């Protein structure tokens, strides 16, 4: 929300400058997001007088001006404005000044061979309006040489962030109230004299949806003259980021921005019959002021006449009945709408507005008459006209909320001791009323909450108001007590696993990435498999609609962004959770580690030749290393296919413990998926399902045992087998290693040969088997028995010992 300093001072009697106001707002919990000082944008521009104006010698549409800047000799300026003439006063941008409209820095230059020392400026160039037909013409009494920012009266603009629980600060007056309570000045009372009507209201007002619209006040003003609003009003709206439209429309916007009270003005000539607050009919349509058509349903409250809908209640008016320049009679509407109904309607229509932002947070139900009087008086002062009597239909919620509060709570819960009389003064300055409560506790208060504070409903809320105005910085920082002795470890096994795997990945040269937990639905579908997605009904944006079923889409997008920006080699990992639909629609979160290798594994060089890209074996190496660090029994893993449609079918696999328990999948990205993500080059992926790794038996035990190396030296034996060409080498290694679990401690593949001497359809795999004697050295007979076990185990896979 934006407002100017001068606008704030219409309601706050203070001499404070912009810096003091901003500091106080931050101190009391109203965050200042920025300060715009127009004087900074207008630096280098000054009031100047054109002394002479002659035609440019080489351009018919240009003039050469002699301009008096109030300092020294006149400057020569080339100007193309049709209204430039001798004797006029305007605004000169000196060399070095930056034009607000386009950021161009002015400098001394030659235009068609004639030197020009700056530029005479138009309204649009200084961002003071839309006029650009000629340069600015100032009154004859404008002081030549004065900085234009000083002459124009540049007014700083404050941009604050209002939290959803503070609807009272959605108006400048509410912010002034908080600043006054914080001691920055005195709050001026609202001057809203009752505007008496001179004739009965000619429009019948009805309520048929009392739940959505409990109260509807209205009156007619006849004989208004619509047109541009005065400069002071336009300046206020521009400071707030609003575009001035006309006096009637600007008046309603001013009351909304100043007091947080939305209102609406209808062109009376465009209404037909009674005006009714009712439910919309199924399929009923309305074209709103944003020129978009909306289809309504019976859950929505509308304002309509006998011809149809004219207003999506509390959100946006209809285009048909809006006020125009020719409007002479208006119907003013000030109503109270149910906040929840407004929020649901706005969400269903995907329609936001300043009015919705205030109604759905909750406005003061007691401000109906005051708001209508303020709006009536403002319109009459701007446009004239004669007001009718007020029609009041229904009644807004009027029961005051009373909260019992013990002032001692500020010390017990707030951590700061504040005198009761000071607490009472703070609350009363914020609009609360405080009286002694008849509760059995002598020190308890009955605090009546004002209607503009729907967020206050308990004693902690009252405490928060007292403490934030007193000053959060006055609360001492106190460390929490800690028991004597050594603190017990607090990390869970899952947290320890995450730390261990994260450090291992970083040690292997992988860079950690943190991506969104939400994805575009198409990208999420590509990695969902048979699982159903979690899709948000009200996402932040369409690109963040589906909860990620895998970490890989986010990593692919991150890799693409880096490759597009010139990175030649990427090694990224992410540790996080993927989200699936469990049985019965329950959420199923699973801890996962994702890795992506993209670009060049090694760059081109004189020794290596051309660059080498990552391949599936690199992905497998990362998967095996990280699984080992996570505590998985890598020596027992089986390499099997079916990595999923996201992977290249001939260059991917899974790592499993048994046929069903998949611990990881790895391989190259499928070309179709790469095309969908628009990523080029070789992309290798790894996805490790950390929650599928079985826990170690006795993991909770902290008993330490010493390691004693074997007394006898190990023995190695080599075996070469002929196996079917399609048999994975890892299967043979696993079977051989398990042939004799007492004596065989390791098995390693060291040769894979296919060629002369090997039958077609087969390959030769050579393994080095390590044997470890325990109590005595092996004899030849012992080695023969072990060898027979190895060959028999290999034979189960169709392997024969090569001669």
- Residues in contact with 270: Cβ distance below 8 Å, sequence separation at least 6, in sequence order: 310, 320, 321
The burial of 261, by beta-carbon neighbours within 10 Å (0-12 exposed, 13-18 middle, 19 or more buried), is given as buried
- What phi-psi label fits residue 186: left (phi over 0), alpha (psi between -120 and 50 degrees) or beta? beta
Which contiguous run of DSSP H or E holds residue 526? helix 521-526
Contact 690, 593 (CB under 8 A): yes
Distance CA 7, CA 666 (A): 63
Return the SS3 of 127: coil
Contact 568, 600 (CB under 8 A): yes
Contact 449, 365 (CB under 8 A): no
Q: For the chain, what is the radius of gyration of the CA atoms?
A: 39
Kind of pairing, strands 569-581 and 511-512?
parallel
Which contiguous run of DSSP H or E holds residue 202? none
Contact 398, 366 (CB under 8 A): yes
455 assigned to a ligand binding site: yes
Q: Which of 45, 52, 116, 132 is nearest to 78 (CA)?
A: 116
Distance CA 481, CA 743 (A): 57
User: What DSSP designation does 136 have?
Assistant: -
464 assigned to a ligand binding site: yes
Q: Which of 390, 331, 400 is nearest to 365 (CA)?
A: 400
Kind of pairing, strands 647-657 and 386-387?
unpaired
Distance CA 630, CA 622 (A): 12
Phi, psi of 213 (to 5 degrees): -135, 85
465 assigned to a ligand binding site: yes
731 assigned to a ligand binding site: no
Which contiguous run of DSSP H or E holds residue 194? none
Distance CA 748, CA 762 (A): 20
Contact 187, 428 (CB under 8 A): no
Please name every residue paired with 312 in a beta bridge, in sequence order, or none if there are none.
302, 316
- Known binding-site residues equal 455, 461, 464-465
Pick out the residues of the known binding site for Mg(2+): 455, 461, 464-465
């Amino acid at each position: 929300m934006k407002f100017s300093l001068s606008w704030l001072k219409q309601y706050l009697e203070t001499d404070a400058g912009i810096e003091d106001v901003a500091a106080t707002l931050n101190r009391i919990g109203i965050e200042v997001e920025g300060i715009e000082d127009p004087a900074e944008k207008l630096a280098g521009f000054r009031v100047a007088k054109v002394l002479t104006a002659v035609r440019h010698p080489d351009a018919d549409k240009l003039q050469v001006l002699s301009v008096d800047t109030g300092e020294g000799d006149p400057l020569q300026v080339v100007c193309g404005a049709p209204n430039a003439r001798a004797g006029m006063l305007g605004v000169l941008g000196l060399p070095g000044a930056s034009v607000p409209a386009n950021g161009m820095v002015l400098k001394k230059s030659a235009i068609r061979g004639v030197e020009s020392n700056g530029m005479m400026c138009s309204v649009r160039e200084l961002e003071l309006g839309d006029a650009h037909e000629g340069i600015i013409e100032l009154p004859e009494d404008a002081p030549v040489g004065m900085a234009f920012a000083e002459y124009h009266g540049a007014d700083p603009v404050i941009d604050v962030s209002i939290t959803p629980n503070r609807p009272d600060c959605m108006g400048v007056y509410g912010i002034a109230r908080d600043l006054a309570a914080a001691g920055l000045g005195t709050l001026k009372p609202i001057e809203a004299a009752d505007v008496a009507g001179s004739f009965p209201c000619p429009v019948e007002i009805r309520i048929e949806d009392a739940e959505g619209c409990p109260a509807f006040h209205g009156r007619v003003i006849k004989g208004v003259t619509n047109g541009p609003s005065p400069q002071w009003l336009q300046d206020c709206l521009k400071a707030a980021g609003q575009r001035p439209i006309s006096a009637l429309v600007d008046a309603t916007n001013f009351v909304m921005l100043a007091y947080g009270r939305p209102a609406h003005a209808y062109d009376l000539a465009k209404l037909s019959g009674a005006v009714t607050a009712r439910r919309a009919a199924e399929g009923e349509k309305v074209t709103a002021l944003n020129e978009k058509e909306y289809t309504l349903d019976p859950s929505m409250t509308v304002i309509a006449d006998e011809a149809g809908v004219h207003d999506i209640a509390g959100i946006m008016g209809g285009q048909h009945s809006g006020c125009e320049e020719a409007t002479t009679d208006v119907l003013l509407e000030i109503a109270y709408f149910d906040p929840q109904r407004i929020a649901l309607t706005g969400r269903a229509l995907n329609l936001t507005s300043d009015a919705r932002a205030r109604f759905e947070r909750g406005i003061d139900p007691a401000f109906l008459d005051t708001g209508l009087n303020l709006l009536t008086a403002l319109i009459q002062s701007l446009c004239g006209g004669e007001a009718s009597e007020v029609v009041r239909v229904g009644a807004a919620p009027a029961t005051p909320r009373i909260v019992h509060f013990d002032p001692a709570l500020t010390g017990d819960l707030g951590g700061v001791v504040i005198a009761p009389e000071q607490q009472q003064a703070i609350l009363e300055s914020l609009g609360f009323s405080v009286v002694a409560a008849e509760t059995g506790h002598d020190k308890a208060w009955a605090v009546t909450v004002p209607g503009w504070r729907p967020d206050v409903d308990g004693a902690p809320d009252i405490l928060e108001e007292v403490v934030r105005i007193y000053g959060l910085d006055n609360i001492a920082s106190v460390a929490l007590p800690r028991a004597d002795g050594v603190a017990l470890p607090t990390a869970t096994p899952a947290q320890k696993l995450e730390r261990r795997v994260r450090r291992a990945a970083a040690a292997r040269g992988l860079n950690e990435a943190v991506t969104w937990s939400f994805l575009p639905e198409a990208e999420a579908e590509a990695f969902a498999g048979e699982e159903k997605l979690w899709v948000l009904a009200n996402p932040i944006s369409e690109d963040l609609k589906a909860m990620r079923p895998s970490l890989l889409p986010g990593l692919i997008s991150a890799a693409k962004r880096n490759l597009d920006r010139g990175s030649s080699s990427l090694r990224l990992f992410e540790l996080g959770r993927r989200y699936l639909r469990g049985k019965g629609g329950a959420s199923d979160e699973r801890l996962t580690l994702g890795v992506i290798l993209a670009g060049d594994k090694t760059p081109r060089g004189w020794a290596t030749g051309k660059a080498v890209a990552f391949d599936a074996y690199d992905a497998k190496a990362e998967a095996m290393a990280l699984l080992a660090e996570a505590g998985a029994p890598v020596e027992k893993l089986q390499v099997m296919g079916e990595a999923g449609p996201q992977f290249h079918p001939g260059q991917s696999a899974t790592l499993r413990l048994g046929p069903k328990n998949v611990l990881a999948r790895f391989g190259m990205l499928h070309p179709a998926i790469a095309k969908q993500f628009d990523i080029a080059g070789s992309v290798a992926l790894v996805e490790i399902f950390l929650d599928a790794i079985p826990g170690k038996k006795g993991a909770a035990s902290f008993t330490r045992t010493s390691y004693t190396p074997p007394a006898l030296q190990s023995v190695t034996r080599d075996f070469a087998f002929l196996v079917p060409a399609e048999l994975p080498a890892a299967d043979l290694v696993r079977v051989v290693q398990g042939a004799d679990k007492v004596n065989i401690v390791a098995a390693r593949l060291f040769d894979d040969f296919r060629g002369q001497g090997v039958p077609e359809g087969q390959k030769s795999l050579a393994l080095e088997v390590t044997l470890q004697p325990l109590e005595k050295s092996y004899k030849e007979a012992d080695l023969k028995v072990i060898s027979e076990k190895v060959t028999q185990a290999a034979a189960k896979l169709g392997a024969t010992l090569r001669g």
